Amino acid sequence: MPLSSPLLIGLSAVMVAVEGDAPRVLITQRETGEDALPFGAFDPDRHRTFDLSLRGWVREQTGFELGYVEQLYTFGDKDRETPEATLADSAPNARVISVGYLALTPEPRPADDSFEARWHSWYRYFPWEDHRSGRPALIDAHIAPRLMTWAAGNERRLERARAAFALDGIRWIEERVLDRYELLYEAGLVIECARDAGLPEPDVRLGEPMASDHRRILATAISRLRGKIKYRPVVFELMPDKFTLSSLQRAVEGILGLSLHTQNFRRALDKTGFVIGTGAMETSTGGRPAELYRYNRESVFDAATTGLSAPRKTAD
């Protein structure tokens, strides 16, 4: 049976870097002024694989040569916005499928200033996710009351709200970024929901909106990375060749949005064999010199090693 409408495939890239203690994502801007993830069409005539296509147009759009890349998810809901106008121009009635990718880099700067892509903290889009200085006031002052109003009389909704945003003494689960964003969207509390439904904007701005369903794709990437660093040593794809243990801990804390117990973090790290001291010292910070370490890539062949332990400094 022939398809009733054309099917177009696009590739979305969530490119993540850590600068200091800030996890950053590479953002482009649409003509409408909306922030967006780098996005390009898959051309089966030009590219043999999705991976080669992704690397090619990311290079063209941002000047970056991608290193570590993994596929996230395929986003194909029927009513999702067209991610890129040029795709719709080629087939106005097309159904657009977007394949999301997570890419990690230790270098958070565009190749040169001729590219319009810019790095932004991912907490610009998800301010309720950063608990390093304690529970964000935004949750209890604005999110929780509105969710309770939306969920009133519906036990299933109340249960979801409590679990997602750690209400009524429930423990905060940092990996549930996508669950929280989708709950806010369903409750009509993020700008994208109002935009997609043609309704007035919410009375409070919960993070910066993004084009199409790109904030959902970004939430998927953050959820994946927060979970994965606990069972795979992927965080080292975000670190320079040499680093201090303090900078490694800050990177992990930035990704998780949590403060970690330093002594317990280092004890657990020492057991993994992931890092090896170089004997060189970091003195450029002006403080007490700290030894520089490197990632021991051979440790991945040890079946006993997994990811990094993330012992919380205080209960959230």
Provide the CATH number for the domain around residue 292: 1.10.10.10
The encoded tokens of residue 283 equal: 């003195």
Q: Which amino acid is at 311?
A: P
For 1-24, what is each residue's pLDDT tens digit?
455 667 778 888 999 999 888 899
73 part of a folded domain: yes
The listed range with the strongest mean pLDDT (83-87, 99-103, 163-167, 269-273) is 163-167
Whole-prediction pTM: 0.89
What are the backbone dihedrals phi and psi of residue 109, each rounded to the nearest 5 degrees, phi first?
-140, 135
The token duo for 166 is: 């750690």
Mean pLDDT of all residues in 195-199: 89
Q: What distance in Å separates the CA atoms of residue 120 and residue 137, rounded to the nearest whole number?
A: 22
- Domain contains 223: no
286 lies in some domain: yes
What pLDDT is attached to residue 1? Answer: 43
The kind and range of the H/E element at 152 are none
Residue percentage of the chain with pLDDT more than 90: 55
**Is residue 135, in this structure, part of any structural domain at all?**
yes
What tokens appear for 79 in the block? 């009513």
- Residue 270 belongs to what domain range? 233-301
Give the residue carrying structure tokens 């190749």. 111
Measured CA to CA, the distance from residue 305 to residue 310 in angstroms comes to 15
Whether residue 192 is found in the same domain as residue 86: no
Q: Cβ–Cβ contacts within 10 Å for residue 114, how many?
A: 7
Per 3-state DSSP, the chain is made up of helix, strand and coil in percentages (nearest 5) of: 35, 20, 40
Number of domains in the chain: 3
Residue 274 resides in a domain: yes
Domain holding 42: CATH number? 3.90.79.10
Is the confidence at residue 62, as pLDDT, over 60?
yes
Beta strand 7-19 with 95-104: parallel, antiparallel or unpaired?
A: parallel
Q: Which residue intervals of the chain are DSSP H helices?
A: 50-62, 85-90, 137-138, 144-151, 155-165, 177-186, 191-197, 214-228, 245-256, 262-272
In a shared domain, residues 108 and 13: yes
* pLDDT, mean of residues 141-159: 97
State yes or no: pLDDT of 154 exceeds 70.
yes
Kindly report, residue by residue over 237-284, the tens digit of the pLDDT: 999 999 999 999 999 999 999 999 999 999 999 989 999 999 898 877
